[in-house]
Amino acid sequence: MASTYHELGMTALSGERVDEAEDWYRKALAIFEELGDRLHAAASYHQLGIIAQRRERVDEAENGTGKPSPSERTLATGREWR
């Protein structure tokens, strides 16, 4: 279900329906996080960052949420960036 929500967000964003896309990505993100699927959650965070960038909200675009991410310096696997 989360993957479908994410794809619906992609479709909405490609049609410039930014608010709708954000809603789909947030729904997907909630499910990915509940499942502990950090890899796919990261993809949703990325898309939320793109939305923030389009809205010229630089502070939110840095991490996709507008707040510090607990895994900001880690990969989806939990390893630190090198």
Asked, for residue 66, whether it belongs to a domain, the answer is no
- Along the 82 residues of the chain, how does pLDDT read in single tens digits? 999 999 999 999 999 999 999 999 999 999 999 999 999 999 999 999 999 988 877 666 565 554 445 444 444 445 444 4
Asked, for residue 67, whether it belongs to a domain, the answer is no
pTM: 0.71
Contact 22, 48 (CB under 8 A): yes
Asked, for residue 49, whether it belongs to a domain, the answer is yes
Asked, for residue 9, whether it belongs to a domain, the answer is yes
Residue 77: predicted pLDDT: 46
Residue 64: predicted pLDDT: 53
Quick one: CA dihedral 75, 60, 45, 7, positive or negative? negative
Boundaries of domain holding 42: 2-61
**In residues, how long is the chain?**
82
With a CB cutoff of 8 Å and minimum separation 6, the contacts of 39 are: 76, 77
Asked, for residue 40, whether it belongs to a domain, the answer is yes
Read off the CATH number of the domain in which 52 is found.
1.25.40.10
The count of domains in the chain is 1
Tokens matching residue 23: 């809603």
